[in-house]
């Protein structure tokens, strides 16, 4: 495929991805390393708000993976820690473990489990078990386009008052699909985005969408500056939670 055609493809995918928005974007933390052994990265960002609300918050994430000849496993953890009015709090945390079978270069069965909570969305606990496949649609040098599909058993426990119409405890099966791409703009600058689409198999009107767009630039050999825009949509949130929310974060990433 010609270079200009690939450019238009990326532009088209980026455009449709901003119109939709699930939970956590695991695609951005995958590695393309080919050697065996351990690798990973640690990243963090700091935010501060003043005015009506005065708070400082630190978000930290870490991934460690191990690569065999035909298999790969990784563990990813993320959490925040903040201070407001001299009180400490943690509103969000997540732990994710995944195992991938590299049967062929462009065909990868995978399984994962995940637990997380998000107090800002009244989520006390979420547990996931999932299995599916990942297919390479296009790969050339550092450019890539992947499609993944899987079935996911999801259990949620929410902290809701008795007047809320949303069920406080839910167990459903979701059909998780994603499209992800990434490429090097220059040797120092990398671009990536991923869109997830996760309808409930019993009710396709119950759908969650995540879009994440990331731009990173190398500062030194293993340290990068990262800017991430995230868009989330939930068609059936609790009564006091909005359908759509967005975030823009800047932080540092150190690979090892």
Topology classification of domain 3-255: Porin (2.40.160)
CA distance linking residue 256 with residue 12, whole number of Å: 33
Find the distance separating the first CA and the last CA of the chain, reported in whole Å: 34
Contacts made by residues 58-65, CB under 8 angstroms, sequence distance 24+: 58/82, 59/249, 59/251, 61/29, 63/29, 64/38, 64/39, 64/40, 65/31, 65/38, 65/39, 65/40
Please list the pLDDT of the chain residue by residue as tens digits (256 residues).
Answer: 444 444 444 333 333 333 333 355 555 545 555 557 788 878 877 777 666 557 788 888 888 888 887 888 999 998 988 887 778 878 889 999 999 887 777 889 999 999 999 888 899 999 999 999 999 888 777 678 899 999 999 999 999 998 999 999 999 999 999 999 988 888 889 899 899 999 999 999 999 999 999 999 998 878 889 888 989 999 999 998 889 988 888 888 877 6
Residues with Cβ < 8 Å from 222, sequence gap 6 or more?
254, 255, 256
Residues with Cβ < 8 Å from 33, sequence gap 6 or more?
39, 67
Asked if 108 contacts 132 with a C-beta cutoff of 8 angstroms, the reply is no
Identify the helix (H) or strand (E) that includes residue 48: strand 37-49
Asked if 58 contacts 44 with a C-beta cutoff of 8 angstroms, the reply is yes
DSSP 64: E
Query: HSE (CB half, 13 Å, CA atoms) of 138?
Result: 17
User: Can you point out the beta strands (E) in 71-142?
Assistant: 71-84, 87-89, 92-101, 107-118, 123-140
The candidate with the shortest Cα–Cα distance to 151, out of 211, 208, 111, 95, is: 111
pLDDT computed for residue 207 by the predictor? 96
Neighbours of 221 (CB within 10 A): 7
**Rg for the chain (alpha carbons), in Å?**
19
pLDDT computed for residue 6 by the predictor? 41
């Amino acid at each position: 495929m010609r270079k200009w055609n690939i450019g238009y493809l990326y532009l088209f995918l980026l455009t449709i991805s901003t119109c939709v928005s699930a939970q956590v974007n695991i695609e951005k933390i995958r590695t393309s390393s080919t050697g065996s052994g351990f690798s990973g990265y640690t990243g963090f960002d700091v935010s501060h708000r003043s005015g009506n609300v005065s708070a400082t918050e630190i978000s930290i994430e870490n991934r460690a993976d191990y690569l065999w000849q035909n298999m790969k496993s990784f563990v990813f953890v993320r959490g925040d820690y903040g201070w407001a009015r001299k009180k400490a709090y943690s509103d969000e945390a997540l732990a994710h473990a995944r195992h991938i079978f590299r049967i062929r270069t462009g065909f990868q069965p995978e399984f994962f489990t995940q637990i997380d909570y998000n107090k800002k969305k009244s989520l006390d606990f979420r547990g996931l078990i999932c299995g599916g496949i990942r297919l390479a649609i296009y790969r050339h040098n550092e450019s890539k386009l992947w499609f993944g599909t899987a079935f996911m058993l999801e259990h949620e426990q929410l902290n809701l008052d008795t007047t809320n119409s949303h069920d406080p405890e839910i167990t459903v099966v979701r059909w998780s699909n994603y499209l992800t791409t990434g490429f090097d703009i220059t040797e120092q600058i990398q671009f990536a985005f991923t869109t997830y689409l996760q309808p409930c198999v019993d009710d396709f009107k119950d759908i969650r969408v995540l879009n994440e767009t990331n731009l990173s630039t190398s500062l030194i050999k293993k340290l990068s500056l990262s800017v991430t825009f995230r868009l989330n949509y939930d068609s059936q949130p609790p009564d006091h939670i909005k359908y759509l929310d967005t975030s823009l974060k800047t932080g540092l990433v150190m690979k090892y």
